[in-house]
Amino acid sequence: MNQNLQQLFTIAQKPERLCIGLMSGTSLDGLDIALCSFSGNGVQTSFKLINFTTIPYQDKFKDEVKQVFAKRHADLQQVTLLNAYIGTYHAELILQALAGWNIKPSEVDFIASHGQTIYHAPKHQHGQAGYANATLQIGDGDHIAVKTGIITISDFRQKHIAAGGEGAPLALYGDVILGSKPSENRILLNIGGIANLTYLPGDGNLSKVISTDIGPGNTLIDAACREYFGKPYDADAEIAYSGTVNDTLLEALLHHPFFNEQLPKTTGPELFNLEYVANAQQATRDLNIAKADLVATLSAFTARTIVQFIAKNFQVDDLHIFASGGGARNPYVMEQIKKALPKATIGNTSDIGINPDAKEAILFAALGNEALCGEPMPIGSNPAVLMGKFSFPK
């Protein structure tokens, strides 16, 4: 028998599995590495976050990825080189993190790697006749497996698309497993580059779970900070607080068919970028807005799209919202959300035992655990599939 299959069989039967979940998001800030242990599967899963770190990317690496990231036209050689390079680079960062935690690679049962999204193209966004939903994550799993010596599960989004989804959000599978609570209507709201949420009804009826992207999280705020202030992001919303929201521009930003698309829907910086902002400014015929006012307006845009979505789709006086992602650290955005939804309880996912910075890396670890020993779970209209491809060190 192929020894790799034998090893998978053994790991799947262990009472507890030690694993690493990896996320490299659209903000391109760094690699999130979560060391977790899992027992069981599906709604019977129990999980512990043992260690977590985000290793920031070097500027040179960010610049190289940005050459192809969310670009309609890119150098195919660069994409090819990056696919292998990111796999090897992520493997090096994993080995570095494990050494810091005094864990030997041989102790880890598997790695679950998201890779780096370089292009996300749901049909409603690409609009090309004859083509279905599509998405592309690079950072090849074989390179991670060979370099670390650890079985690696990767490329989770393709199966979701093959089975009729948009390849995202995948958070719902982890949110149902790790974040549900009987008799409490919950929303797990992740504000990363793009904001998304999962609604978990307190009656446990999985057919009522809703999970979708909402719109921009930090991506426009970050882009404006980079472009006009030479900063990677608006730390503690200092710039937003120093500016004033331009209501006319805010209305123009809110005017886009994406916000009326059917659920579930997904998006990315392919749509929400500085060109989107420039088009909205053109529509207002006011191109001379002060740069701090622009950052304030983009921050208000993020908060407003989240608030409008929640107010339109849920009964807010019986709702517990738990935020996560880097945007949950943006006081301006969070303040506006709390002010506009006074009847909902709003906290962050640490209130329910999930580290808000680690949440997406934990999600991929949970998806890896399902790929090894779970069963497809029907949740609403979402594809009931096990996702991920297996790579072996030998």
Ligand X SMILES: Nc1ncnc2c1ncn2[C@@H]1O[C@H](COP(=O)(O)OP(=O)(O)OP(=O)(O)O)[C@@H](O)[C@H]1O
Ligand Y SMILES: CC(=O)N[C@H]1[C@@H]2OC[C@@H](O2)[C@@H](O)[C@@H]1O[C@H](C)C(=O)O
Of ligand X, ligand Y, none, which one does residue 179 interact with (CB within 5 to 8 Å by kind)?
A: none
Of the candidates 157, 191, 171, 163, the one whose C-alpha atom is nearest the C-alpha of residue 309 is 191
28 is an annotated ligand-binding site residue:
yes
Binding status of residue 300 toward ligand X by CB under 6 A: no
Q: If contact means CB under 5 to 8 A according to the sort of partner, which of ligand Y, ligand X, none does residue 173 touch?
A: none
Residue type, position 60, single letter: K
Contact region with ligand X (CB under 6 A), list: 75-83, 84-92, 204-212, 232-240 = 232-240
Supply the minimum distance, in Å, between the C-beta of residue 153 and ligand X.
Answer: 19
Q: Residue 65 in contact with residue 75, Cβ under 8 Å?
A: no
Please tell me what DSSP assigns to residue 57.
P
CB of 195 to ligand X, least distance (A): 8
- Give the residue with the Cβ less far from ligand Y, 97 or 171: 171
> By CB under 6 A, is residue 317 in contact with ligand X?
no
Angle formed by the axes of helices 59-66 and 76-100, to 10°? Answer: 150
> Does the annotation flag 25 for ligand binding?
yes
Selection from ligand Y, ligand X, none that 120 binds (CB < 5 to 8 A by kind) is ligand Y
Query: Choosing among ligand X, ligand Y, none, which partner's interface includes residue 326 (Cβ < 5 to 8 Å by kind)?
Result: ligand X
Q: How far is the CB of 119 from ligand Y (least distance, A)?
A: 9
Q: What is the DSSP annotation of 119-172?
A: EEE-HHHH--TT---EEEEES-HHHHHHHH-S-EEE-THHHHHHTTS-S---HH
Task: Give the pairing type, strands 17-24 and 345-348.
Answer: unpaired
176 touches 228 (CB < 8 A): no
CB closer to ligand Y, 25 vs 243: 25
Q: Which is closer to ligand Y, CB of 167 or CB of 201?
A: 167
3-class DSSP state for residue 85? helix
Q: Is 26 in the site for ligand X (CB under 6 A)?
A: yes
Q: What angle do CA 113, 119, 123 make, to 5 degrees?
A: 115
Q: Which does 113 bind (CB under 5 to 8 A by kind): ligand Y, ligand X, none?
A: none
Please give the residues from 252 up to 271 whose contact with ligand X meets the rule CB under 6 A: none
Q: Is 2 exposed, middle or buried (0-12, 13-18, 19+ CB in 10 A)?
A: exposed
Least Å distance, CB 51 to ligand Y, is: 20
**Quick one: which of 109, 155, 166, 222 contacts ligand X (CB under 6 A)?**
222
Decide if residue 213 touches ligand X (CB under 6 A).
Answer: no
Beta bridge partners of 154: 113, 389
Q: Report the C-alpha gap between 164 and 248 in whole angstroms.
A: 38
Q: What is the pairing mode between strands 152-154 and 389-391?
A: antiparallel
Report in angstroms how near the CB of residue 225 gets to ligand X at its nearest.
8
Looking at the Cβ atoms of 120 and 320, the one nearer to ligand Y is 120
326 belongs to the binding site for ligand X (CB under 6 A): yes
Assess whether the previous peptide bond of 201 is cis (omega < 30° from 0): no
Question: Nearest distance from residue 129's CB to ligand Y, in Å?
Answer: 22
Which CB atom, from 147 or from 359, has the smaller least distance to ligand Y? Answer: 359
Token representation of residue 278 = 């420039």
Question: What is the gyration radius of the CA atoms in the chain, in angstroms?
Answer: 21
Binding residues for ligand X, rule: CB under 6 A, are: 23, 25-27, 29, 190, 192-194, 217-218, 221-222, 233-237, 325-327, 329-330, 360
| Binding-site annotation, residues for ATP | 25-32
